[in-house]
Amino acid sequence: MIASIRGSVLTRSQQQAIIDVSGVGYLVNITPGTSSLLKLGSEISLFTSMIVREDAMTLYGFTDAFEQILFDLLRSVTGVGPKSALGILSSLTTEQIQLAVATEDDAAFRAVTGIGPKTAKLITVTLAGKLQSASTMDAPSRRTDLTSVIEALIGLGWPERNAAEAVREANSSLGQGATRDAILRFTLTRLGAGKSVSGSDR
């Protein structure tokens, strides 16, 4: 099993790249987001998932370890193969996938080409409760910010679904550059900061 590769970029397109590792060229399927990070001739490290079938051995590569974990989790859903999983990761960010699952927003997955209503619902049901633990294995600061705000709101007594919905709205309204404090202020305003939570006011 090939879990990662490191080498120089020989060729790349929106969907594939050839990585030269000590004179051997590996054809790797990638997302447009990953493609945008690759520069011809530069050295790159990719986390990979290797799919072995009777007629082929196919590599899928990711610059982000959590994105690779999500790819494998998506493939565990009935009806989602490697191409569909890569399509989801090409259309949605990891944060959007996390929030869609947390809020049971299967519409986010229905918007992806090739994902029907039943499969979209299965994704939210199958991945429920799995993403938070997976994210701790490799959590860039932005993902950590969003997750920590949800956890803080839950700690204040808000239901997880309400907290996740508020964070999703904050992420959409404030943009990727928003700080954790800005996200928290937005969500508290959205939920009603002055409201008594869990009877804690005395």
**Is there a contact between 134 and 102 (Cβ–Cβ < 8 Å)?**
no
Give the tens place of pLDDT for each residue, 75-134. Answer: 999 999 999 999 999 999 888 898 888 888 899 999 999 999 999 999 999 998 777 655
In the chain, the domains with their CATH numbers are 4-63 (2.40.50.140), 66-138 (1.10.150.20), 140-193 (1.10.8)
CA angle 41/23/12 to nearest 5° reads 40
- The number of residues in the chain equals 202
pTM above 0.85, yes or no: no
CA 133 to chain centre: 13
Q: Bridge-partner residues for 20, per DSSP? A: 8, 25
Nearest to 187 by CA among 143, 155, 153: 153
pLDDT at 55 over 50: yes
- Average pLDDT of the chain is 84
Q: Distance (Å, rounded) from C-alpha 134 to C-alpha 152?
A: 19
Question: Which pLDDT does position 200 carry in this prediction?
Answer: 41
- In this predicted structure, the answer to whether residue 11 has a pLDDT above a threshold of 50 is yes
